[in-house]
Amino acid sequence: MIRVTSGAYADRLISNLGSITARQARYQAQISTGQRVTLPEDDPGAVRRALDLEGERGRVGQYGRNVTRLKETATTTNTVMRSLSKIATRAGELAVKANSIRSADDLKTYAAEVTQMIQQAVSSANINLRGDSVMAGTRNGQPPYTLTLGTDGRVQSVTYNGNQDIPSLDIAEGQELSASVVGSNPTGSGPAGLIEDPRAGADFFNHLIQFQDQLLAGNGAAVTTTTAVGLQADSDNLLRHIAANGVVQGRLEAASATVSDRLLSLEGQISGETDADLAKALVRLNETQVSYQAALQTGGKILSMSLMDYLR
């Protein structure tokens, strides 16, 4: 016959009550915080899956921030392109009129307007976003274009200070995109230049300077036969870039929607791994409370039994 001492009953009772109390505390914490998993030991598998999902959420969140930055760049670049396109359109109109103008004073008046156009175009091309130029490639230490004026106020030259490297950002796994353009690319290879690109016959600033000088020289005929052709090529090149920018903005809108959907999905998956089922937690808390009361009552009866109760 195995003898069980009263001390053993007490130890077992205390152990059971401690276990029940721990479960009560866990369910109470789940109800108050809404979290099923607060410590790794609560559910190691769920913690591991949640950490993996958190890592993916971080990567997707970075894609979202990249998309936002690229959208800002694309919008700013589009504004610059449209400003330059308006200038090119006006310059083309003046070039068509130049051959029919005979008055030297009228030609000088048009020349003054072209000079203002060049200065306005340089100002537009030098716009930056958060300290970074949108047209200097990856060289952001100075404005992409430097304008040089003569003592008579005419524009003598416009110099490009950027390079032909376009910065890009990841918008998804294995997908990079750029929303910037290079202002000038005279190399004949690589990214298309917005203002200067021999492949498109574009050399906007030099064409405008040539236009200015021809008007000041009273040479309206030369404007029609040479400069007008170059300005038309500049205008066409700008329109192609505007169209390409529209495509980039469309891709960025699609990427933004994808990122939003993916983040929403990940939030749900993480919640599924770590959030508490409040209804289930309440039921289990009630069960542990009932178990606790029952254990107290049973333990009290056992510990209060006398030797005569055993002998009966």
Residues 132-165: tens digit of each pLDDT: 888 999 988 789 999 999 999 999 999 999 999 9
- What is the reported pLDDT for 92? 92
- Strand 193-197 and strand 182-184: the pairing is parallel
Q: What is the pTM of this model?
A: 0.74
C-beta separation of 164 from 202 below 8 A: no
Query: Looking at the domain assignment, is residue 190 inside a domain?
Result: yes
Q: Which of residues 287 and 76 earns the better pLDDT score?
A: 76
User: Would you place residue 277 in the very low, low, confident or very high pLDDT band (cuts 50, 70, 90)?
Assistant: very low
- What is the reported pLDDT for 141? 75
Residues 75-113: tens digit of each pLDDT: 999 999 999 999 999 999 888 887 777 677 888 889 999
User: Would you place residue 225 in the very low, low, confident or very high pLDDT band (cuts 50, 70, 90)?
Assistant: confident
Query: Looking at the domain assignment, is residue 246 inside a domain?
Result: yes
Residue 87: give the domain boundaries: 54-267
Model confidence at 256: pLDDT above 50: yes
Number of structural domains (the chain) is 1
Query: Looking at the domain assignment, is residue 13 inside a domain?
Result: no
- What is the 3-state secondary structure of the chain? CCCCCHHHHHHHHHHHHHHHHHHHHHHHHHHHHCECCCCHHHCHHHHHHHHHHHHHHHHHHHHHHHHHHHHHHHHHHHHHHHHHHHHHHHHHHHHHHHCCCCCHHHHHHHHHHHHHHHHHHHHHHCCEECCEECCECCCCCCCCEEEEECCCCCEEEEEECCCCCCCCEEEECCEEECCCCEEECCCCCCCCEEEEEHHHCEEHHHHHHHHHHHHHCCCHHHHHHHHHHHHHHHHHHHHHHHHHHHHHHHHHHHHHHHHHHHHHHHHHHHHHHHECCHHHHHHHHHHHHHHHHHHHHHHHHHHHCCHHHHHC
- Strand 193-197 and strand 202-203: the pairing is antiparallel
Q: Which of residues 23 and 231 earns the better pLDDT score?
A: 231
Query: Looking at the domain assignment, is residue 72 inside a domain?
Result: yes
| Structure tokens given for 91 | 């310059």
**Residue environment code for 153-185, b if the CB has 16+ CB neighbours within 10 A, otherwise e:** ebbeebebbbbbeebebebbeeeebbbbbbbbb
Query: Looking at the domain assignment, is residue 102 inside a domain?
Result: yes
* Amino acid code (one letter) for 199: R
Query: Looking at the domain assignment, is residue 160 inside a domain?
Result: yes
User: Would you place residue 57 in the very low, low, confident or very high pLDDT band (cuts 50, 70, 90)?
Assistant: confident
Query: Looking at the domain assignment, is residue 17 inside a domain?
Result: no
Query: Looking at the domain assignment, is residue 183 inside a domain?
Result: yes
Report the percent of the chain where pLDDT is more than 70.
70
pLDDT (average), residues 109-128: 94
Q: Considering only CA atoms, which of 126, 109, 212 is closest in space to residue 161?
A: 126
Domain CATH code at residue 119: 1.20.1330.10
Biggest distance spanned by C-alpha atoms of the chain: 136
**Mean pLDDT for the chain overall:** 80
Rounded to 5 degrees, what are φ and ψ at 217?
A: -85, -5
